Amino acid sequence: MAKGGDVKQEKITFGGKGTEPGKFQSISGVAVSTDNEIFVTDELNKRVQVFSMDGTFLRLFPTVLPGERKTMLEPHGVALDVAPGYLWVVVRRRIWFRYEDHIVQYNKNGRPIKKFDVSLKNQLYSVIAMDVRNNKIIVGDKSTIMLLDPNGSRLWTSEVGSFESNGISGVTSDKEGNVLLTDGYKSVYKYNPYGVKILEFGTRGRGEGQLYSPRGICLDTSGHIIVASFHTHRVDMFTSQGKFVRTIADISHPENVAMGPCGELVVSSVFYNTVTIFPRQMVLP
């Protein structure tokens, strides 16, 4: 008989396509709070849904602007704030053939606190993360990476380059305040806190350690870089200097990735509208 500590945990998958609570129509971002709640932006349903670390649906809230509770906007990227109990979401309103883009702060129950306006170029999606060390907001938009104050003022902007893909597809930061991103084509870039590129790695392909349309990116508790390689249907781990370590997960079309506070890995699968939680022992090297 296995002891409690010897019980093997299995991955958990939840979601599926639909409009009812717990279902999704186009997952556009995932983030995990320090108290183990998973926040998922449900783009076409125009809401954020919240789940426990065992996949149980907890609550949802519409993505509205402060003072405009009747008009729901499409949410894209999501990131947890430095302040516990708050999050930031990139939202978009379609007005005929143009768009209005905003970054909105909500409390964890969905009350909109404040917003600032941004002008984004990517008509499909934009990604967002927090520089936790310096309390700054990082936004990736097409080929532009930018660092913003929580009041919306722009601190620096860097042009990553022109890609053969949809552009920047994932962004995160490390404990030193460096910004890491995927270019949606084949590479991972690292910028120092002042916007200077200090690392680039990745070769396009399906072989071990190669990336084919890298999307979501996050770091584990040891600083390893974890990347969702969309067209190779896997999530790969690299050292902080870009050396391939191993494949963590084989999963169809992984899009967004986030790390839980206890080492769990949360991955969205875009074509199935599902989220999968991989337990700590499946993630750690």
Angle at 29 between CA 111 and CA 19, to 5 degrees: 70
Report pLDDT for 3.
46
Three-state SS at 20:
coil
| Helix intervals (H) in the chain | 280-283
pLDDT means per 10 residues, the chain with 285 residues, are 54 97 97 97 97 98 90 94 96 82 96 93 82 94 92 90 73 96 94 93 94 96 95 97 96 96 95 96 82
* Cα dihedral 193→195→197→198 (10° resolution): -20
- The secondary structure of residue 282, as a DSSP letter, is H
Predicted pLDDT at 148 = 95
What are the structural domains of the chain?
A: 24-282 (2.120.10.30)
DSSP 117-181: EE----SS--EEEEETTTTEEEEEETTEEEEE-TTS-EEEEEE----SSSS--EEEE-TTS-EEE
Residue 62's pLDDT is what? Answer: 97
At 70 the pLDDT is 78
Residue-level pLDDT at 121: 80
- The answer for residues whose C-beta is within 8 angstroms of residue 170's C-beta and 6 or more apart is 127, 140, 181, 182, 214, 215, 216, 217, 218, 227, 228, 256, 257
State the pLDDT at residue 1: 39
Rounded Cα gap, residues 219 and 170, in angstroms: 12
